[in-house]
Amino acid sequence: MRLFIIPLLVMVLVQAIKLILEAVRGNFSWEHLNNYGGMPSAHAALASSLATIIFIDKGWGDAALAVGIILFFIVVRDATGFRRQLGLHATLINLIIKDLDKVKEYKYPILNERLGHTPWQVTVGIVSGIALTFLATGFLPYF
């Protein structure tokens, strides 16, 4: 059961940390609770936590660890690659829209620019996921 619970708890905690960091920066919004992007990456924390708890419970020789590690790489690559590029494209499209005259500008929605992560945001998410998983297994050793 802890293979399921601990990674989800880690993700929720990292997402809460993200909200607190946004509040400290003066950019608090409840929308950030369920948005993509920002520091740290909750997706990277979730994926690294899952791979870590599988390793702790099953060891190196289990096929589940291979699945967890592959899933981890997919999530990290998506966050720093595809979703990051989508966010950069949204930024450029929003700049183009803002350059239009006012009559045309209001015809187009402003796109969400916060979709992906920088390598630093993902790294902090990975370290947080691993550290919080080891911490949680100390508190929940038989859960």
Give residue 141's pLDDT.
62
Give residue 14's pLDDT.
92
Question: pLDDT category, 121, cuts 50, 70, 90?
Answer: confident
* CB contact at 8 A, 53 and 137: yes
Residue 32 has pLDDT above 70, yes or no: no
Question: pLDDT category, 100, cuts 50, 70, 90?
Answer: confident
pTM score of the predicted model: 0.81
Instruction: Read off the pLDDT of each residue in 106-114 and give the average, rounded to a whole number.
Output: 77
Q: Where are the domains of the chain?
A: 2-128
Give residue 129's pLDDT.
96
Residue 142 has pLDDT above 70, yes or no: no
* CB contact at 8 A, 83 and 33: no
Percentage of the chain modeled with pLDDT above 90? 35
- Give 81 or 12, the one with higher predicted confidence: 12
The overall longest dimension of the chain from CA atoms, in Å, is 63
Helices (H), 1-143: 2-24, 42-58, 63-77, 83-99, 102-105, 119-139
The 8-class DSSP code of residue 62 comes to -
Residue 59 zone, left/alpha/beta (φ > 0; ψ -120 to 50; rest): left
- Give 139 or 74, the one with higher predicted confidence: 74
Residue 44 has pLDDT above 90, yes or no: yes
Give residue 67's pLDDT.
94
* Residue 114 vs residues 4, 41, 48, 62, 83: alpha-carbon distances, Å: 28, 12, 22, 36, 9
Give residue 114's pLDDT.
72
CA atoms within 13 A on the CB side of 12: 6
